[in-house]
């Protein structure tokens, strides 16, 4: 029997694929991987097929061809990267295997479709609208009010997400962000569909003051199991919203965490997410109702997987594979550890000339993992023009407050130089 992973190359997913390989071999399964232009991914799978997963039709055809030459039937389909979820949904439908539906895969990526689904359920969220022109944007601004957040309809990692505080800033940034957001996500399998549906419009949302959190869940038969809530302790007031520091368990009051879990489950029902892993983000001001920002039908990005594993003992990759194979996953926490991670960027765009502090950071007993996604000679850009950091450090502390001290030290230790 075989497990098939639909993948988009992403250096932060090495640990995911390594776990999938161990899982497959432990259960006597072959691990198959479909990815465009495979390089380092080959070491993690029994067979790798090169296919453009940004083209759903091509991906489905490649899997059909793969199924004819594989000696073992494909029993499960999974995806660990946001951009591969729509292809995985289409392949699972083609093979008659468990996964979220193609409709759900789309709604969990199209920000306007998602907001509309939440609105129909009365889920607390920012006021929002779509605009194709500056005149339309000004109309949304009159209805929603300033500050506004400009956001691509299709996108991730806070790429081209920007706060504007008044009409002058809206006029300055609207058209540039609208144009660049569609041009930059043309590799996304849903880009052309969303472009036609929304006429290359841009999302505008009311800015929500307060702290931001992310919620990692597993959904089984429509029932939501929240495994971890990460705070983002640094202020995220804008104008850009790069994510740098995550910490779990949350420092929010238990009642707020419980309400966040309740709204997360409502969001899953609104999008008809009935199985698999999800990553949900909120804004919450002290004493106020949590406001959902978005939910994704996938594992959280980069080091989120390892953070949940180290903090709770629950392996979300194994849980996803268990569900894909119709096995009951193990979700009971075996430990409670304060864990954080630091997502680092070069200070400016350019060519990487050196990476400093990796060995020093790794020598700290509190540090569990240092991963640099970029190498000397690579060209790098910085927020808001990128959807992924240039590396991460995962660390722990005796308690939640201790994570702040470790983070402060790492910020001074790890550095990427560019020319």
Q: What is the pLDDT of residues 193-222, one digit of tens each?
A: 888 999 999 999 999 999 999 999 999 999
pLDDT the model gives residue 10: 84
Task: For residues 85 and 79, give the distance between their C-alpha atoms in angstroms, rounded to a whole number.
Answer: 6
pLDDT on residue 157: 76
Cα 298 to Cα 133, 271, 284, 322, distances in angstroms: 32, 13, 23, 14
pLDDT < 50 stretches in the chain:
none
Please state, as a whole number, how many other Cβ atoms lie within 10 Å of the Cβ of residue 412.
Answer: 8
Q: What is the pLDDT of residue 192?
A: 85
Asked if 89 contacts 95 with a C-beta cutoff of 8 angstroms, the reply is: no
The reported pLDDT for the residue numbered 155 is 80
The pLDDT, as a whole number, for residue 385 is 86
Structural domains of the chain, ranges and CATH numbers in brackets: 2-99 (3.40.50.20), 127-206 (3.30.1490.20)
For 140-149, the pLDDT digits (tens) are 999 999 999 9
Residue 387 has a pLDDT of 81
The pLDDT value recorded for residue 391 is: 94
Residues 6+ apart with CB under 8 A from 169: none
- Collapsing DSSP to helix, strand or coil, 217 comes out as strand
Residue 188 is predicted with a pLDDT of 83
Longest dimension (CA), the chain: 63
């Amino acid at each position: 029997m075989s497990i098939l992973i639909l993948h988009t190359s992403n250096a932060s997913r090495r640990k995911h694929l390594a776990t999938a390989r161990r899982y497959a071999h432990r259960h006597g399964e072959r691990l198959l991987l479909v990815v465009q232009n495979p390089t380092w991914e080959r070491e993690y799978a029994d067979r790798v097929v090169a296919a453009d997963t940004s083209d759903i039709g091509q991906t489905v055809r490649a899997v059909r061809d793969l199924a004819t030459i594989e000696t073992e039937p494909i029993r499960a389909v999974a995806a660990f990267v946001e951009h591969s979820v729509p292809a995985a949904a289409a392949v699972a439908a083609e093979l008659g295997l468990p996964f979220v539906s193609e409709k759900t895969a789309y709604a969990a990526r199209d920000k306007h479709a998602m907001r509309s689904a939440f609105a129909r359920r009365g889920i607390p969220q920012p006021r929002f609208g779509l605009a194709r022109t500056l005149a339309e944007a000004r109309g949304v601004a009159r209805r929603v009010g300033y500050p506004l957040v400009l956001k691509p309809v299709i996108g991730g990692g806070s790429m081209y997400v920007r706060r504007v505080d008044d009409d002058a800033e809206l006029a300055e940034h609207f058209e540039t962000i609208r144009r660049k957001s569609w041009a930059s996500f043309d590799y996304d399998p849903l880009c052309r569909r969303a472009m036609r549906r929304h006429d290359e419009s841009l999302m505008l949302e009311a800015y929500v003051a307060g702290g931001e959190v992310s919620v990692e869940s597993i959904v089984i038969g429509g029932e939501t199991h929240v495994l971890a809530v990460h705070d983002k302790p640094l202020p995220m007031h804008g104008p850009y919203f790069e994510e740098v520091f995550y910490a779990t368990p949350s420092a929010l009051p238990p009642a707020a965490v419980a309400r966040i879990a309740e709204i997360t489950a409502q969001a899953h029902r609104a999008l008809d997410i009935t199985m698999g892993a999800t990553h949900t983000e909120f804004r919450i001001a002290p004493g106020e109702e949590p406001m959902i920002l978005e939910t994704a039908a996938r594992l959280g990005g980069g080091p989120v997987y390892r953070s949940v594993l180290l903090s709770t003992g629950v392996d979300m990759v194994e849980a996803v594979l268990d569900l894909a194979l119709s096995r009951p996953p193990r979700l009971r926490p075996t430990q409670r550890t304060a864990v954080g991670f630091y997502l680092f960027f070069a200070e400016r765009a350019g060519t990487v000339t050196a990476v400093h502090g990796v060995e020093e950071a790794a020598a700290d007993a509190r540090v569990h993992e240092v991963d640099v996604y970029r190498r000397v000679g690579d060209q790098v850009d910085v927020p808001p023009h990128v959807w992924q950091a240039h590396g991460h450090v995962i660390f722990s502390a005796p308690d939640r407050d201790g994570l702040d001290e470790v983070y402060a030290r790492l910020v001074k230790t790890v550095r990427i130089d560019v020319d």
